[in-house]
């Protein structure tokens, strides 16, 4: 690698960092401290020192340009030195060096704050190193030496002609905002609902608050093919900072429910603060806001599933209510005595019980497709069940107990060849992989919002429009009515026909925010990262003596069910909880599939994109400690 050129700095520079003590006390060496103009020139020279890089032009903002002020905290001052009450302000003309790979920062040697390094090695710089480079310089400015329009008299200058110019900054680079917490997603992929930004006086100047904790990791630009960094997204989930038994929470119970990013939490709050009203029923402003937000969430759900129309999206409380809606509204009209309904061994209770009830009521027969010893459906046996009497096939896309990914598209095509319609339970799929109902060609698809980082009590049913239009309502009252007399009632078309009463308006809006969030990361990116986690976690768990994985299908998503010889699953779950690790132990509302493997319960860690290799290391180490203390009993 080319050696960096020597960096000539003015001879009258103050010490690299102040000594420990009170920042309000006069400190030797600060009497002649440079102002922000000199600091900016020093930064220019720093950038010029990077091999293959040109220096950005950094200077003091013109008086007409507003600046963002920030105390130099959050890593700008070396450990052990109190944060100064003064503020540092820097304005950047939007020209930056080319971004390079990240380099790990060496730690500051104890007792030597002057050696506190920038987080980027010369020649390997990227934008994340900028705050620490500049922050170290800004920390030199004591109280009373804030940026001014000119350099102090007698301060040496670095000729501006010696600083080469750079290509213009590409549009859309993120800017930290001082008025709210920063998410790396906020500016990389702006939400359609984001509040309008104020227009700056001079668009040629970009302002940056010098706080490294607010700077996004530009490696995590999934929309641009960059590597995914779960540590960045984890900061968006407030509950993941929670302490459990004195240890930081590790959430590995995602198959039961996923945690909520602050973007969803804040969207719910904003709805109740500024939009709360019933929908479709009034001409006032809040009714219009509420209706718009609710219907915008329907459009986001349509896009998320790739349905062809919002008329095919019905809001319900969750996947369970969706399946019951279809059983009552479609099944009661279309299933007759002697007909057959096919499910699989993998199903959640919610995709078994409604069909049992319907069969018992109508005299139909429930048939079950078997699975092999890995937990995958045996397609040849499944197809043997299909015949002219088969009215409906209802199957999961991802097993909640084993993580098996079923060949749902192939099974749907088989069912259609025999004249049956198909319902796909997507409750466990929507958080792990892209979903395309048109590619699946299923007739119904159901999911729950709380499984995809949204609120509880909200979900959706997708139904092909031609089928929904032939279905009667299953509840009466409210929005589902077009006209009522004592002689008859005229119902609204779908989807309103199936949304009786006042729906869960706010949580539908929250679901829309959750969909925005995962789409801005990218479902394909999420699937790829979770595949890495699954491989890593599988290898780690298999290193635990006596541990047996339940469900080893080749195609799996985010579930690692296991048992340990001579250990009760309940005891394992409690031991992990004492370590701050949340998993599910029990039958997971899927008793038939566990009994297929001769079990009544398993321990089920389940993954989400905010999980890390470190989380899985903690899980494996906790299991090894548990087993050691258990003594093999």
Residue 414 sits in a domain whose CATH number is 3.40.640.10
Q: Where are the beta strands (DSSP E) in 477-570?
A: 481-484, 489-491, 547-549, 562-564
**Residue at 565 is within a domain:** yes
For residue 164, the SS3 value is coil
pLDDT value of position 478: 84
Residues 503 and 534 grouped into a single domain: no
Residues 401 and 269 grouped into a single domain: yes
Query: CA 319 to CA 82: how far, in whole Å?
Result: 53
Which secondary-structure segment (H or E) carries 306? Answer: none
Residues 505 and 545 grouped into a single domain: no
**Residue at 289 is within a domain:** yes
Lowest mean pLDDT among 114-123, 314-323, 471-480: 114-123
**Segments forming the whole domain that contains residue 584:** 238-252+523-630
Query: CA 461 to CA 201: how far, in whole Å?
Result: 48
Angle, alpha carbons 454-457-462 (nearest 5°): 80
**Residue at 206 is within a domain:** yes
Nearby residues of 37 by Cβ (< 8 Å), 6 or more positions away: 59, 60, 147, 148, 149, 150, 151
In Å, how far are 345, 385, 599, 603 from 595, measured between CA atoms?
10, 21, 5, 15
For residue 462, the SS3 value is strand
Residues 242 and 209 grouped into a single domain: no
Query: CA 209 to CA 70: how far, in whole Å?
Result: 6
pLDDT in tens, 555-580: 999 999 999 999 999 999 999 999 99
Residues 309 and 393 grouped into a single domain: yes
Residues 302 and 355 grouped into a single domain: yes
| pLDDT greater than 60 at residue 114 | no
pLDDT value of position 419: 97
- Residue in 359, 442, 567, 589 annotated catalytic: 589
Q: Are 453 and 475 in contact (CB under 8 A)?
A: no
Size (the chain), residues: 633
Q: Which of 390, 374, 388, 440 lies closest to 411 in space, CA to CA?
A: 440
pLDDT value of position 12: 41
Give the helix, strand, coil percentages of the chain, each rounded to 5. Answer: 35, 15, 50
Residues 387 and 515 grouped into a single domain: yes
Residues 300 and 374 grouped into a single domain: yes
Query: CA 251 to CA 230: how far, in whole Å?
Result: 13
- Three-state SS for 83-148 is CCCCCECCEECCCCCCCCCCCCCCCCCCCCHHHCCCCCCCCCCCCCHHHHHHHHHHCCCCCCCCCC
**Residue at 546 is within a domain:** yes
Residue 283 pLDDT class (50, 70, 90 cuts): confident
Residues 458 and 377 grouped into a single domain: yes
Q: Which of 520, 546, 574 is the last residue of a domain?
A: 520
Q: Which of 292, 278, 340 lies closest to 499 in space, CA to CA?
A: 278
Residue 14 is encoded by which pair of tokens? Answer: 């103050």
Residue 542 pLDDT class (50, 70, 90 cuts): very high
Query: Taking the chain, what is the end-to-end CA distance rounded to the nearest angstrom?
Result: 58
- CATH code for the domain in which residue 586 is found: 3.90.1150.10
pLDDT value of position 282: 80
Query: CA 454 to CA 260: how far, in whole Å?
Result: 6
Residues 501 and 359 grouped into a single domain: yes
The DSSP letter of residue 606 is B
Query: CA 243 to CA 66: how far, in whole Å?
Result: 40
Q: Which of 480, 498, 520 is the last residue of a domain?
A: 520
Lowest mean pLDDT among 122-136, 242-256, 487-501: 122-136
Query: CA 599 to CA 576: how far, in whole Å?
Result: 21
**Residue at 299 is within a domain:** yes
**Is 589 part of the annotated catalytic residue set?**
yes
pLDDT value of position 254: 98
The torsion region of residue 598 among left (phi > 0), alpha (psi -120 to 50) and beta comes to left
Distance, CA of 448 to chain centre:
16
pLDDT value of position 430: 98
**Residue at 130 is within a domain:** yes
Residue whose pair of structure tokens reads 């001079």 in the numeric block: 202
The DSSP letter of residue 45 is H
pLDDT value of position 629: 78
Query: CA 431 to CA 319: how far, in whole Å?
Result: 14
Q: Which of 520, 548, 578 is the last residue of a domain?
A: 520
For residue 36, the SS3 value is helix
Residues 515 and 527 grouped into a single domain: no
Residues 405 and 514 grouped into a single domain: yes
pLDDT value of position 159: 43
| pLDDT greater than 50 at residue 15 | no
On the 0-12 / 13-18 / 19+ scale of CB atoms within 10 A, 621 is middle
- Three-state SS for 559-585 is ECCEEECCCCHHHHHHHHHHCCEECEE
For residue 577, the SS3 value is helix
Number of structural domains the chain divides into = 3
The strand pairing partners of 444, in sequence order, are: 423, 463
pLDDT value of position 37: 53
**Residue at 232 is within a domain:** no
The DSSP letter of residue 339 is -
Q: What percent of the chain is modeled with pLDDT above 70?
A: 64
**Residue at 259 is within a domain:** no
């Amino acid at each position: 690698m080319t050696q960096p050129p020597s960096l000539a700095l003015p001879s009258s520079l103050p010490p690299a960092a102040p000594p420990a003590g009170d920042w309000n006390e006069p400190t030797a060496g600060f009497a002649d401290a440079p102002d922000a103009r000199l600091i900016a020139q020093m930064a220019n020279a720093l950038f010029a020192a990077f091999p293959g890089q040109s220096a950005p032009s950094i200077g003091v903002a013109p008086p007409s340009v507003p600046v963002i002020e920030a105390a130099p905290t959050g890593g700008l001052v070396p450990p052990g030195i109190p944060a100064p009450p003064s503020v540092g302000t820097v304005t950047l003309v939007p020209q930056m060096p080319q971004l390079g790979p990240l380099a790990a920062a060496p730690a500051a040697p104890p007792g030597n704050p002057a050696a506190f390094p920038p987080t980027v090695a010369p020649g390997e710089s990227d934008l994340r190193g900028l705050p620490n480079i500049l922050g170290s310089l800004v920390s030199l400015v004591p109280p009373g030496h804030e940026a001014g329009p000119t350099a102090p008299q007698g301060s040496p200058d670095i000729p501006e002609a010696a600083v080469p110019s750079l290509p213009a900054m590409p549009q859309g680079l993120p800017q930290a905002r001082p008025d709210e917490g920063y998410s790396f997603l906020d500016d990389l992929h702006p939400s359609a609902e984001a509040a309008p930004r104020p227009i700056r006086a001079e668009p040629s100047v970009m302002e940056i608050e010098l706080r490294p904790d607010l700077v996004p990791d530009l490696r995590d630009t999934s929309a641009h093919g960059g590597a995914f960094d779960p540590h960045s997204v984890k900061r968006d989930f407030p509950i993941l900072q929670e302490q459990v038994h004195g240890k930081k929470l590790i959430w590995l119970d995602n198959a039961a429910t996923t945690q909520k990013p602050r973007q969803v939490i804040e969207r719910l709050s904003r709805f109740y603060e500024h939009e709360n009203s019933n929908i479709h029923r009034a001409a006032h402003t809040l009714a219009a806001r509420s209706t718009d937000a609710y219907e915008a969430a329907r459009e986001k759900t349509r896009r998320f599933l790739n349905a062809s129309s919002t008329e095919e999206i019905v809001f319900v409380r969750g996947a369970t209510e969706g399946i019951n809606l279809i059983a009552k509204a479609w099944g009661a009209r279309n299933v007759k005595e002697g007909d057959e309904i096919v499910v699989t061994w993998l199903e959640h209770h919610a995709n078994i019980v409604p069909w049992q009830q319907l069969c018992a009521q109508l005299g139909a027969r429930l048939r079950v497709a078997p699975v092999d010893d890995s937990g995958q459906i045996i397609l040849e046996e499944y197809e043997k069940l299909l015949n002219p009497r088969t009215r409906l096939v209802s199957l999961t896309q991802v097993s909640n107990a084993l993580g098996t990914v079923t060949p749902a598209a192939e099974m749907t095509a088989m069912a259609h060849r025999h004249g049956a319609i198909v319902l796909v339970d997507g409750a466990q799929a929507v958080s792990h992989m892209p979903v395309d109902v048109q590619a699946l060609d299923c007739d119904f698809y159901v999911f729950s919002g709380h499984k995809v980082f949204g609120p509880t009590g909200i979900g959706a049913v997708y139904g092909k429009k031609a089928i929904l239009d032939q279905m009667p309502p299953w509840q009466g009252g409210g929005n589902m009515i077009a006209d009522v007399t004592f002689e008859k009632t005229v119902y609204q078309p779908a989807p309103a026909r199936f949304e009786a009463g006042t729906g869960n308006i706010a949580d539908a809006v929250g679901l829309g925010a959750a969909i925005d969030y995962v789409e801005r990361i990218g479902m394909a990116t999420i699937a790829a990262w979770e595949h890495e986690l699954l491989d890593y976690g599988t290898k780690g768990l298999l290193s635990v003596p006596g541990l047996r994985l339940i469900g080893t299908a080749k195609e799996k998503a985010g579930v690692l069910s296991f048992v340990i010889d001579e250990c009760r699953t309940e005891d394992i779950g409690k031991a992990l909880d004492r370590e701050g690790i949340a998993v599910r132990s029990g039958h997971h509302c899927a008793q038939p599939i566990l009994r297929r493997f001769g079990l009544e319960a398993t321990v089920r860690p389940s993954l989400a994109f905010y999980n890390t290799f470190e989380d899985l290391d903690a899980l494996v180490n906790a299991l090894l400690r548990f087993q050691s203390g258990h003594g093999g009993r």
